[in-house]
Amino acid sequence: MTPFVEPRPPSLAQGRAWPTPEEERLKIRDMSLAAESQSKEGDTFYIITQRWWQNWLDYVNQDQLNDGLSPHSLDSADACVSKRPSNIDNKVLIYESTTSDCSAAELHDTLVEGRDYVLLPEEVWNQLYSWYGGGPTLARKVINSGLSQMELAVEVYPLHLELLLKPKGDRSTIRISKKETIRELYRRVCEIFDLDPEQIRIYDFYGQKKHSLPMDLDKTLDDANIQMDQEILVEVNMTNYVKNNDPVGKQSNSFLLEPSKSGLSIAGGLSATKGVSKIGNMDLSQGQNQVSPHRESNNVQESSGVTTRSATAGLTGLLNLGNTCYMNSAIQCLVHTPEFARYFREDYFGEINWQNPMGMVGELALSFGELLRKIWAAGRTPIAPRPFKTKLARFAPQFSGYNQHDSQELLAFLLDGLHEDLNRVKDKPYILSKDANGRPDEEVADEYWANHKARNDSIIVDVCQGQYKSTLVCPVCAKVSVTFDPFMYLSLPLQSTATRPLTVTIFSSDGSLLPNVCTVTIPKQGRCRDLIQALSAVCSLKPHEKLLLAEIQNNLIHRFFEDPLTSLSSIKDEDHLAAYRIPQPAKGIIFLQLIHRLEDKETVNAQSVKGWKPYGTPLVSPISCDDVTTRGDVQSMVRTMLSPLLKHREKYDMSENGILSAVEPSSESSSWTERINDATHGTGKLPLHLVDENNVCIDLSVGEEKPIKISSSSKSLLVFINWSKELLEEYDTSYLESLPEVCKNGLPAKKARTEPLSLYSCLEAFLREEPLVSEPDMWKCPQCKERRQASKKLDLWRLPKVLVIHLKRFSYNRSIKHKLDTFVNFPIYDLDITKYIANKNNSDPQLYELYALINHYGSMGSGHYTAHIKVNLSSFYNIMLLLDENRWYSFDDNHISAIGEDEVKTNAAYVLFYRRKKEDASENI
């Protein structure tokens, strides 16, 4: 039966004139911008096929759009004018259905946002639908997600649950949001099976075992840890059921007490309402055929472009279950870690901690061990790691479903979960760590490590955990605090070599210089201190001066950049920046802001009303709170600030850097004071008005000797100058008018040449002393008893057998996600970390050899993970299996191929696995 398709809206079918492509573009852009700023939980977004969306972008000539249309950026550099798209056609996104109810349409399991579909705000969808019609309509809700439950996300795939009715044995499926309540689940179940709520009891039937749901029916399914494709047991009170549904007693009351057995997977099997035809998964690159995420394939050879060398132990691929390349790559690196391969292939059951509340009562460790043994069993075909994924999702629910995730984040959760399941410590003692208090580092470090081992002792700790020294220094009392903390991996920053030109206008506060426009080049990921340092060099800042950086909006100062560690990514290309040269601030100083206003005549009720509107760029000068300041003093300060703008100066000095410096006029010319007197009708004063702390406007052109009340609690003193026509004849205010954008004319900067980074330089950046910037990171000094922005220094103290290094390629700013594709030159054979060890008593060379790495290709939201692994087997396996020893292989889901050592290093390297070099060959697998 043909799927239901919504018709074109009648209004367009009746011949109403089409809007022009430009009108459509502007309309959708404005709607998207408005929706982005107002998104909240409960909003509705609509799924639309990427193909149709791209056709529409081409039609409206998208290459003229700015970057404002996010989060679904209208980004098509090669767009060209094309014909108007036909009806919206979302049929390719859903399975064929025999129902005309479009709300029941099932999405294909492996769709990827940005490749197969985009998400549109409700207003945007309604507008496009009114123009084009089509369908079906695929609405989804915005929910809170993430570990903090504060991140907004669109729930594209609601929970798919298997309902099992006991004792009758009926089965059904249900789609329901994980943010729905247990009460709503009861209501939906009763509706499906035609039952009364009083007749039933619902259980989480994970692992074919009954787990009670929370008693509070207003708790969400997310709170109850209900996962995708999970079984839900519906128990019926048979007395009430027979009474209400079989009043004549014809049915037997002796139904089977156990549910009927099924070939379906408990938590991740084939849905009864789904087919197996899928849209190509972007994780399967290079012409690979998609495998259904709901097919159990442990014993069946799947069709693929390249078959796995399944006859060789350790070279067994993992099927992609739908965006699970991030998991497959991490698993392959771990199972090819010699210590883990040996441990899980031997009898490790005696070390499982069945009582640890922080683990999974051994389920995660058992599942991982079973998967490892399958991979190392010779002659196996590619494996579908579905049972393991189900166990992992129980321990870390954020990895449930089929969304793309970060491989390093999964690796961290997996190692932690395996550690808790295998922790040899059954009863963890409470140990209060002591501060160093001047004791030798060696003594304190050993004490911390012993305390850690007293609570954490497992194969994961034995192999992967090291220890670093953390030193905090209070900036106020100079208190030094030293602790020694364990680590599982090192996350090294990538110092981006990309640069960004920034244009800033520099103003003087003492009237000595004309405003000067400067463009400097700074690191793209730099901070305000980098910008100020570059500007200081350009304008030849004197030792007793400093620059005060400010953002100007609507002719007013929007904010001062007081924190030198503020990221420059918060400054947009279209912003306007000013820097004010001021004396090094002393105590009791605030800033006088001189705000310019122009006469603005408006007609109200046929009468001309005179008003004033902001104009130009404000000027800034320091003013003392401790000294008595009169109105006349403010007049003198403003005259000084404006003096470079006088039109009739006789001479100027030209400084070496091209800045015009004002010189006092000759005695023959009329002084600037006299000209101002003429311009202000003989009053001798500038038309200044001050707004005090009570928001009262004070005229500073009268009462010259009257003092001004300045509150030390105020940050600024606002003074307005009204520029009359007469006053404008005396001053050239054009210097204040054209404040350029940060990136002039919005032109993109030339792409910077990217220099290769050394892994050692990344390690040095990680160990460099840095201040704690954000408020949550601030340290409570035990001596001051106050939260301080302390400086923090890390040093490596104890290194593990296996050193995992994470290269921080991803960064987040507001809603923008950015990936660095910088090439990092990392050693394969001799990573020497000896000189970075702070423990000088350890004289042994710390040499490591690379044996595995995880790669990430593409962008953040639609990338692909693979692994490169050096298979290094013992001579026994080498003889039995005739396997090349010390050879690199590429693990790309179920595709495995040999690669040369020269192919290992790429700019896709994301997580590196190093193993300490040993002379003893018995360390091999």
Distance (Å, whole) CA 61 – CA 77: 10
Predicted confidence (pLDDT) per residue in 386-440, tens digit: 889 988 888 888 888 888 889 999 999 999 999 999 999 998 888 887 777 778 9
Assess if CATH 3.30.450.40 describes domain 21-63+83-155. Answer: no
pLDDT over 50 at 141, yes or no: yes
Q: Using an 8 Å Cβ cutoff, are 83 and 133 in contact?
A: no
Evaluate if residue 610 carries a pLDDT over 70: no
pLDDT at 590 over 60: yes
Q: How confident is the model at residue 774 (pLDDT cuts 50, 70, 90)?
A: low
* Rounded alpha-carbon distances, angstroms, from residue 142 to 139, 800, 814: 10, 43, 18
pLDDT tens, position by position, 227-283: 777 888 988 875 554 445 544 343 333 222 222 222 222 222 222 222 222 223 323
Flag whether pLDDT at 65 surpasses 50: no
Output the pLDDT for position 95: 80
Instruction: Mean pLDDT check: name the lowest of 92-106, 336-350, 555-569.
Output: 92-106
- Active site residue ranges: 325, 864
CATH of domain 159-236: 3.10.20.90
**Across the beta sheet with 556-560, what order do the strands follow?**
516-523, 499-508, 576-583, 545-553, 556-560
Is 483 a residue whose pLDDT tops 70? yes
**500-600+612-644+685-736 matches 159-236 in CATH topology:** yes
Q: What is the mean pLDDT of the chain?
A: 76
In sequence order, the 6+-apart residues with CB closer than 8 A to the CB of 644 are: 508, 511, 512, 513, 514, 515, 660, 662, 735
Tokens representing 46 are: 């609509």
CATH T-level fold of 500-600+612-644+685-736: Ubiquitin-like (UB roll) (3.10.20)
H helical segments located in 233-323: 238-245
Distance CA 196, CA 181 (A): 18
| Every domain of the chain and the residues it spans | 21-63+83-155, 159-236, 500-600+612-644+685-736, 759-916
- Select the more confidently predicted residue: 303 or 234: 234
Tell me the average pLDDT across 619-644: 87
- pLDDT for residue 78 is more than 70: no
pLDDT in tens, 443-454: 999 999 999 999
The predicted model scores a pTM of 0.50
Q: Point out the least confidently predicted range of 86-95, 751-760, 886-895.
A: 751-760
Q: Amino acid letter at 619?
A: L
pLDDT of res. 378: 57
pLDDT tens, residue by residue, 684-736: 688 888 887 777 888 888 888 888 887 767 778 888 988 888 888 888 888 88
pLDDT at residue 584, as a whole number: 82
* Alpha helix stretches (DSSP H) within 194-263: 238-245
Q: What is the pLDDT of residue 329?
A: 96
Q: Name the residue with higher pLDDT: 413 or 845.
A: 413
pLDDT tens sequence across 171-186: 888 888 888 898 999 9
For a pLDDT cut of 90, what percent of the chain falls above it?
A: 21
What SS3 class is residue 624? strand
Q: How far apart are CA 912 and CA 909, in angstroms?
A: 7
Residue 777: the pLDDT is 65
Among all chains, which residue has been given the structure tokens 């360390």? Answer: 923
Most confidently modeled range among 354-358, 416-420, 588-592: 416-420
Domain 759-916, architecture per CATH: Alpha-Beta Complex (3.90)
Q: What is the mean pLDDT of residues 455-482?
A: 90
Note the pLDDT tens digit of each residue in 798-838.
999 999 999 998 876 544 567 888 899 999 999 999 999 98
